[in-house]
Structure 1
Amino acid sequence: MPRNPQILLDNRPQGEATVDNFRLTEADTPALAPGQVLVRHHYLSLDPYMRGRMNDSKSYAAPQPLGQVMQGGTVGVVEESRHPRFQPGDSVVGMGGWQTYSVVDGDAPGMLRKVDTAHVPLSYYLGAVGMPGVTAWYGLDQIIAPKEGDTLVVSAATGAVGSAFAALARARKCRVVGIAGGPEKCAYAVKELGFDHCIDYRAHPDVKSMAGALKAACPDGIDGYFENVGGYILDAVLLRMNAFGRIALCGMIAGYDGQPLPMANPALILINRLKVQGFIVSEHMGMWPKALAELSDLVQLGKLRPRESVAQGLAAAPEAFLGMLKGKNFGKQLVKLV
C-alpha cells in the first residue's frame, strides 16, 4: 500500500488562522479490510466552514480534532476495492480529507459515491454539482422560496455557492444581485455568471455606503437574501429588505476568527416580519438528489459555468485556505493532487 502525505490540524488558532496551525506529515496506508475501498484523491475542496471547525467552541458540528487529518471533501479515483459496488477506475466523491489517499468503508452512509464524468468535470462535484451547489439550491428553494420577478441578493457572489445561486435564481426568473470583492469579480459576476448587478464591498466598506449601493441596485427592495458573510453587510441588507422577506443564513465568515458579530438594528426583523433561517445542508440529505439533478442539468446546458482557483499540491493547501478566507480566490477554491 502507498505512503500517504497528510495535513493535520496541529494546534488551534488564537484569533486569525496561520499556516503554523497545520502540519504536513506522511503515514502508512493500511491494507484494505473486506468492504473497504482505496481512493486516490485528485482534488481537495477548501471551504469557509472549515475555519469554524478549527476552533474549540460550540458550533453546529464537532471541532476538528487536533493531531488528525483536516476533514474535507475530495474527488478521485478508486485504486483498489474490496467492495462489490466499487471497481478500480471508478470516479468518486467523498470526504477523504486533506491527504493523498483515503481508505473508506464502502457502506458508510454519505462517505463515498460514484459520479459520472462524461458530462460533468470531476472537480465540479466539489463545487457547482456538490455540497456548495446543493447549499445554494436548498437556501434558495426551501427557505427563500422565490416567486418569479423577486429581487434576490447573495454575498460572496463569485464563490462556489454564489455562482450556483445566480444560475438557480435566473432559472426561476428572478432578478439577482451579488456582493463581491473588487471590480474584476463584479465584472465577472455580471458578464459570466449572469447577475443583473454586482456591488463591490471594498468600495462600500460601511453600513451607510453599502445600504446606498443596495438601494441603487435594488430600487424595489430585497425579497430574498442568501447570507455567507454577516457583519455590516447583513446590517445594510436588513435596511433594504421588503416586508415578509426571507433570509437564508448559511455562513458568517466575518466572524470565523472568533470576534462577535453584533447586529445594529435587529428590530427590523420584527418591523418587516422577516423570516431568518440558518441551515446546514448536510442535515437535509434527502433533498440532495433533486438539487444535484438540477445543478447537473444547468452545467450541461451551459447555464452554470463556475470558475475555479486551483492550488497545486497538498503542501499548498494551508496557504490556499487562508487566502480563500481573505477573498484571494476567484471562484471555487481547490487543491489539485495529481
Structure 2
Amino acid sequence: MKVAVGADIGGTSIKAAVVSVLGTLKHDRILPTRSQDTPEDTVTRLADALGGLLLEAARIAGVEPRNIPVGIGCAGLIDTSRGIVQISPNLPHWRDVPLGAMLAERLGSPVLLINDANAFVLGEGRAGAGRGARVLLGLTLGTGVGGGILLDGELFTGVHGWAGEMGHTPLQIDGEKCACGSYGCLEGFVGNREIVLRYMELAGGEPTQILKKFLKDPSEQPTPETLSLAARAGDAPAIESFRQTGRYLGAALAGFVNIFDPDRIVLGGGVAQAGELILKPAREMMEERMMFPQKQHPELCLAALGPHAAVIGASLEALNRVGKNEFSGGA
C-alpha cells in the first residue's frame, strides 16, 4: 500500500502521522510547537518524530524510508517551490527558513512544504467532506481565517502561490487594522477574538450565568468552543454572537461564490464547531447576496476529517507529486 508521512505545524502543537493513499491514518504523534525555539531546534525535534514515522511507513509499504514522501503543512506565507517558510504566525521568529531542505537533509526523504489551509482543503477534497466536488472552496475558521481552492481536484495557488487567502478579503474599507497590514479583513469579523468581543458586548461585559457553567473558574476567558456550548444551552448573547458572525461570513461567501461558482464550500477549524449556529445564518446571507441564487446552489458543509485534515492533505499531495520532481526538498 502506498503511504506518506504528513505533519501540520500548529500554533501550540505539531500533529504528524503515517497516511495511506486512501487518506486513512495509520500512526499519529503530537509534539509541542515551542514557537520560541530556533528553526534548528524545531527541525531537530520534528525530524526525530518524523524519522520514527518514516520507519513505520516503510514497513507498511515494503520500501526503504528514503522512498516515502513527506508532506508538511504550515501556516503563513509558504514558498512551496523552494520549500521556504517566509513568515508564519505560528513561528513568529522565522523569516525565510528553508524548512523543506533542512528536513530533507535530516530525513533523507523528499519533503513537500505547503500552506496549512491548502493542506486542509486538499485533505477534505480528496478524503473528506469535499470529495467529488469539481470546484471546492475550503475555509478554516479560528484565531485567523485560512482558505484554499481545488479545481477538479487540483490545488489552485495563483501566480505567486498565495491564492486562497480568503481571510484577508476586505469587508470594510475603514475597519480595524489587520495583522496583514490591511484594514477591515474578513478575519477581523469572524475570528475567535471578534466572536468573544461581540459576545461580551451583547452580554453587557460579563459572562452570563449560562456561560459560567461551562467555564472552569471565574477568571477563565470565553472561547468560541465554550460559547457554542452556552448557545446550545440557550444563552441568548452567545446565539446572537454566532448569528452576527455567520452573517458576516455569509456575505463574504457570496462574493467567493460569484467569483468561483463552486459546487461545495467546506468549513473547518474551531469556530466551525459551532455547527448550525453559524452555518444557518451564513447560508441564509450567502444565498441572499449571491448573484444568481435561483441557479447556484453551492453546498455549505462542515469538514469531516477533524484536526488531522491538514496532515492528511499534506500527505496525499506529497504522494500526488511523487515522480513529478516538484518537491521543495529532495533526498
- Looking at both structures, which has the greater relative contact order when contacts are Cα pairs under 8 Å and sequence separation is at least 6? 2
Same fold (TM over 0.5): no
* Structure richer in strand, relative to its length: 1
- What TM-score do the two structures reach when normalised by structure 2? 0.34
